[in-house]
Amino acid sequence: MRRYLKYGLLGILFFTMLSGCTLQNKKRIPSLRESYRKTDKLPFGSFIAYEGFQSEFPDYWINIADKPFDKTWPVIKNNSDKYSLYFLVTKNLLLSVDEVNAMIEYVKAGNDLFISADYIDSKLLDAVYCTLDRKSEIINEVNGKMQDTHVSMYYGDNFKTSKYGYYYFPFLNYFSSYDTTYARVLGVNEKNLPNYLVLFAGKGRLYLHVAPRIFSNYFLLSGENYHFFEYVTAYLRFDPQYVYWDEYYKNHPSGANRNNTDNDDDNFSSLNVIKQNPPLSWAFYIALAGILLFVVFNAKRKQSAMEIIKPNSNTTLAFTETVGRLYFQQKNNKNISEKMITYFYEYLRKNYFNNTSVINGDFINSLSGKSGITYSETKELFELIKNIQLQENITDEELLALNEKIDNFKKIKTDGRKFV
């Protein structure tokens, strides 16, 4: 049974390896993770958007920002005497208080800050008196409901709606409240609710956009959607001294990662790397299967079970009783009496050191003194022994009498205790 199980498991392992090799020849399903990195050509990377951004600013060197904003802003302030543009696209934007303060100061100093994210930190929104509603989009994504969806831009006096859509989760994020005294709506979602604002603060502008997927390769390559990117950037001023494309907040969306600027990916863990690379995935799973098989086949006993050997027990008494019973059943009283006398003499030699080869008065007197038994009782015992030795046939009564006399002799001692 175990042999068949072993071969069965090995067969499963072989089939798994064969399946893994077969799957390598199939087209890999692209990752749908929303990275928005400039070099990422996956559906939700921003390779196309970055190429378009460079086309919008052909005369500018695009600076790549790879540090938190509160570290970048002092550098910009020291190196620039004219306004600059900072372009930031990410999935979720979580900020520290220092970063929020730096952003507000940056805008008030006359610079343009563009932010597009599904989630914008409430500290920044509170600072500019805006409220973001994400409930509908979150519920829709949890339910996995995809559909044809679109966004619109306020361009001139009309909303552009017909060309800029695709099939995916609908654009439902919107600003539920904002200060109309210094905020203007530039775009809406498919429910005609504002999802793109420009806020004027000091000499600069803060652009808040809550549909970052329009900057994905998938959206921009769908239909004529590339023109939508042009409409979005058309509101940006086109004569900055410096232009910055953010890569830091794509890699560090959470404030928990502020001290780890060398990490290229918030999901760059060993397990995620394995999952994202099919060859590594199959190697990992095959290794797990191998470990499981090793445990299964090496957990069993490698040698036959050792028999438990019971310690030898003292069976002398049982043997003696058995032999005695056998003799008694055969009515061989003579033989029994002779063995009783022989064992008794051995007992006397061992315990009293008397020579039993000659039984006479001196012997009886010496034994009586050593044993504490009276001379007459000792003499009576040995007279019985002599009579039995002289007889050819021994009755049961005589045999029992001999046994009783010998037992009594062994039990009696001068100090009144039993002799062992």
Which residue is it, tokens 């099939």? 167
Q: Is 310 part of a structural domain of the chain? A: no
Q: Is 112 part of a structural domain of the chain? A: yes
Clarify whether residues 187 and 104 are in a common domain: yes
Clarify whether residues 102 and 44 are in a common domain: yes
pLDDT at 128: 95
Number of domains in the chain: 3
Clarify whether residues 347 and 288 are in a common domain: no
* Cross-strand partners of 167: 148
Q: How far apart (Å, rounded) are the C-alpha atoms in residues 184 and 186?
A: 6
- For the entire predicted model, the pTM comes to 0.56
Domain containing residue 217: CATH number: 3.40.50
Measured CA distances, 217 to 41, 55, 90, 232 (Å): 7, 16, 14, 16
Q: 3-class DSSP state for residue 148? A: strand
Clarify whether residues 81 and 202 are in a common domain: yes
Q: Is 251 part of a structural domain of the chain? A: yes
Measured CA distances, 194 to 171, 190, 299, 338 (Å): 11, 10, 65, 125
Clarify whether residues 195 and 325 are in a common domain: no
Clarify whether residues 49 and 95 are in a common domain: yes
Clarify whether residues 240 and 282 are in a common domain: no
Clarify whether residues 383 and 288 are in a common domain: no
pLDDT at 362: 84
Q: Is 309 part of a structural domain of the chain? A: no
pLDDT at 25: 46
Clarify whether residues 332 and 240 are in a common domain: no
Pairing of the two strands 183-188 and 194-201: antiparallel
Q: 3-class DSSP state for residue 162? A: coil
What the block records as the tokens of 170 is: 């609908």
Burial of 243 (0-12, 13-18, 19+ CB in 10 A): buried
Burial of 196 (0-12, 13-18, 19+ CB in 10 A): buried
Residue 50, domain extent:
34-266
Q: How far apart (Å, rounded) are the C-alpha atoms in residues 408 and 412?
A: 6
For residues 360 and 378, is the Cβ–Cβ distance under 8 A?
no
Q: Return the CA Rg of the chain.
A: 53
Cα-to-chain-centroid distance, residue 222: 42
For residues 34 and 211, is the Cβ–Cβ distance under 8 A?
no
pLDDT at 12: 59
Q: Is 237 part of a structural domain of the chain? A: yes
Q: How far apart (Å, rounded) are the C-alpha atoms in residues 35 and 30?
A: 13
Clarify whether residues 124 and 3 are in a common domain: no
Provide the strand spans (E) within 210-312. 242-246
Closest CA to 246 of 2, 25, 71: 71
Clarify whether residues 242 and 284 are in a common domain: no
Taking only the tens of pLDDT, the chain with its 420 residues reads 555 555 555 555 555 555 555 444 445 667 788 889 999 999 999 999 999 888 888 888 899 999 999 999 999 988 877 889 999 999 999 999 999 999 999 999 999 999 999 999 999 999 999 999 988 778 777 777 788 887 877 765 555 554 577 888 888 899 999 999 999 998 888 888 999 999 999 989 999 999 999 999 998 998 888 887 887 888 887 788 889 999 999 877 554 444 444 444 444 455 655 665 667 777 888 888 888 887 877 766 666 667 777 776 666 666 667 766 766 666 677 888 888 888 888 888 888 888 888 888 888 888 888 888 888 888 888 888 888 888 888 888 887 888 888 888 887 654 444 443
Q: How far apart (Å, rounded) are the C-alpha atoms in residues 198 and 182?
A: 8
What the block records as the tokens of 121 is: 């930190």
Which residue is it, tokens 């952003």? 103
Residue 323 falls in which region: left (phi positive, over 0), alpha (psi -120 to 50) or beta? alpha
For residues 357 and 349, is the Cβ–Cβ distance under 8 A?
no
Q: How far apart (Å, rounded) are the C-alpha atoms in residues 137 and 172?
A: 5
Q: Is 104 part of a structural domain of the chain? A: yes
Q: Is 332 part of a structural domain of the chain? A: yes
Q: Is 109 part of a structural domain of the chain? A: yes
Clarify whether residues 261 and 394 are in a common domain: no
For residues 365 and 375, is the Cβ–Cβ distance under 8 A?
yes
